[in-house]
């Protein structure tokens, strides 16, 4: 028996349709589509009419072009392999004023999205004045071949925060940039800013924006807790198996380094064939697993195993579910285990059986 990472394809597509609605979506497919598999995600998103994708990896951008010859592909990290960008028709961010002046001659025939830094401070032009400086310098550039400024974008780093004013601050600052540029006659083929949290907070795409740049919701996790569970559906199941059930006595220590001490006689522990080597976070193991429709506490986590305290109804070969739509990734996000993407990224697809149903 081996632990399994499994996706229900019909459920995945149904969720993506529900998230997309009638809006224009740029699907974030970075990090192998949140480990759902780039090929799988591009195929399923394309089926429901999504033809615009973003990633942080040039290698992934090239693979997307191979999978989807007519897609619009946006690279959120700046790179220096300009020939590859041209060859595969990949759009790219402009990350700073210094990058622009250093490389504008090399960026000819490449579609560029001007990035506004905002509160995240990860990348981008620092102010509207810097954005205008690039636009004006570009307009005055008389070279026959030069870069094509087609997009304007930012990232909201605080859209899933409700107890602080930062989302409203970054949102207002960004909308002022967009409104000012448009009022002054600047035109962009693409304007995008919203992640999943902002997309749901705003009930769709912001004014003047061509796309919402949605990631985690497309993969079945709510970006914040007040979103109704039935509005975002998880298609992923991660499960192991009960290898055997052991009975221990009060005072017995179980697992490495005194991981768990039994508090009563005749304690039954299911030995399960999944552990942190398969990508189960230690913080996730502070909670429970689902066996035969009932939740049982996880007592100890090892590299390839875990102990789950069970009752007499549990037997060898019973399935042990760590994640499915009844025991969701986002539930444990809200319990402090780690971000949705952190839990998904931890999964070890070399040790787990990976299947699409």
Residues 352/3, Cβ–Cβ less than 8 Å? yes
Give me the half-sphere count of Cα atoms (radius 13 Å) on the Cβ side of residue 116.
Answer: 28
Number of H helices, E strands in the chain: 11, 18
Q: Residue 142: pLDDT above 90?
A: no
Catalytic residue among 80, 101, 253, 256: 256
CA 280/CA 348 separation, integer angstroms: 9
Cα–Cα distance list, 353 to 3, 240, 349 (Å): 6, 10, 7
Q: What is the pLDDT of residue 331?
A: 97
Confidence band of 229 (pLDDT split at 50, 70, 90): very high
How far separated are the first and last CA of the chain, in Å rounded? Answer: 19
Domain ranges of the chain: 9-227, 236-324+326-356
Residue 33 has pLDDT above 80, yes or no: yes
Cα 98 off chain centre by: 29
Residue 142's contacts (CB-CB under 8 Å, 6 or more residues apart) are none
Provide φ and ψ at 272, rounded to 5°: -115, 140
- Distance of CA 310 to CAs 72, 245, 285, Å? 51, 8, 15
DSSP state of 205: P
Q: Which residues pair with 28 in a beta bridge?
A: 54
User: Would residue 108 show up in a list of annotated catalytic residues for this protein?
Assistant: no
The pLDDT, as a whole number, for residue 1 is 67
Joined together, the tokens standing for residue 335 give 């319990």
pLDDT-above-90 percentage for the chain: 94
Which CATH fold topology does 236-324+326-356 show? Lyase, Ornithine Decarboxylase; Chain A, domain 1 (2.40.37)
Q: Give the model's confidence band at 167: pLDDT under 50 very low, under 70 low, under 90 confident, else very high.
A: very high
Q: Active-site residue 30, yes or no? A: yes
Q: Helices (DSSP H) in 21-144: which residue ranges? A: 30-34, 38-47, 58-67, 82-87, 97-103, 128-140
Catalytic residue among 20, 30, 34, 36: 30
Among 27-41, 68-82, 135-149, the minimum mean pLDDT is found in 135-149
What is the third-level CATH fold of 9-227? TIM Barrel (3.20.20)
Please tell me if the domain spanning 9-227 has the same topology as the one spanning 236-324+326-356: no
Both tokens of 55, joined, read 């990633």
Instruction: Specify the pTM.
Output: 0.93
Give residue-wise pLDDT tens across range 296-345: 999 999 999 999 999 999 999 999 999 999 999 999 999 999 999 999 99
Helix then strand then coil, % of the chain, to nearest 5: 35, 25, 40
Q: Which of 248, 224, 240 is nearest to 279 (CA)?
A: 240
Residue 221 to residue 153: CA distance in whole angstroms = 24
Q: 124 near 96, Cβ under 8 Å? A: yes
């Amino acid at each position: 028996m081996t632990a399994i990472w499994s996706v229900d394809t019909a459920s995945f597509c149904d969720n993506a349709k529900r998230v997309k609605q009638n809006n224009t979506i740029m699907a974030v497919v970075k990090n192998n589509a949140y480990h759902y598999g780039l090929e799988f995600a591009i195929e399923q998103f394309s089926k429901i009419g999504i033809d615009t994708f973003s990633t942080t990896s040039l290698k992934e951008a090239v693979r997307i072009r191979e999978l989807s010859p007519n897609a619009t592909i946006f690279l959120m990290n700046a790179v220096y392999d300009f020939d590859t960008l041209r060859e595969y028709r990949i759009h790219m961010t402009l990350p700073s004023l210094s990058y622009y002046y250093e490389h504008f001659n090399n960026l000819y025939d490449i579609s560029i999205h001007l990035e506004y830094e905002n509160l995240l401070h990860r990348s981008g032009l620092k102010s509207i004045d810097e954005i205008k400086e690039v636009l004006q310098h570009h307009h005055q550039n008389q070279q026959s071949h030069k870069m094509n400024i087609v997009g304007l974008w930012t990232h909201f780093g605080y859209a899933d925060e409700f107890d602080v004013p930062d989302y409203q601050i970054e949102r207002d600052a960004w909308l002022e940039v967009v409104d000012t540029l448009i009022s002054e006659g600047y035109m962009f083929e693409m304007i995008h800013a919203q992640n999943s949290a902002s997309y749901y907070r705003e009930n769709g795409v912001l004014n003047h924006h061509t796309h919402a740049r949605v990631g985690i919701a497309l993969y079945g996790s709510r970006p914040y807790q007040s979103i109704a569970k039935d509005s975002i559906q998880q298609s992923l199941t991660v499960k192991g198996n009960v290898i055997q059930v052991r009975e221990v006595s009060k005072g017995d220590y179980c697992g490495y380094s005194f991981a768990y001490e039994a508090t009563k006689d005749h304690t039954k522990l299911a030995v399960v064939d999944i552990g942190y080597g398969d990508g189960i976070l230690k913080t996730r193991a502070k909670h429970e697993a689902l066996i035969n429709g009932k939740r049982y506490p996880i007592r100890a986590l090892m590299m390839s195993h875990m102990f789950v305290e069970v009752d007499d109804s549990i037997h060898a070969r019973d399935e042990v579910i760590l994640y499915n739509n009844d025991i969701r990734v986002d539930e444990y996000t809200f319990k402090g285990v780690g971000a949705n993407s952190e839990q998904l990224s931890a999964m070890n697809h070399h040790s787990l059986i990976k299947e699409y149903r």
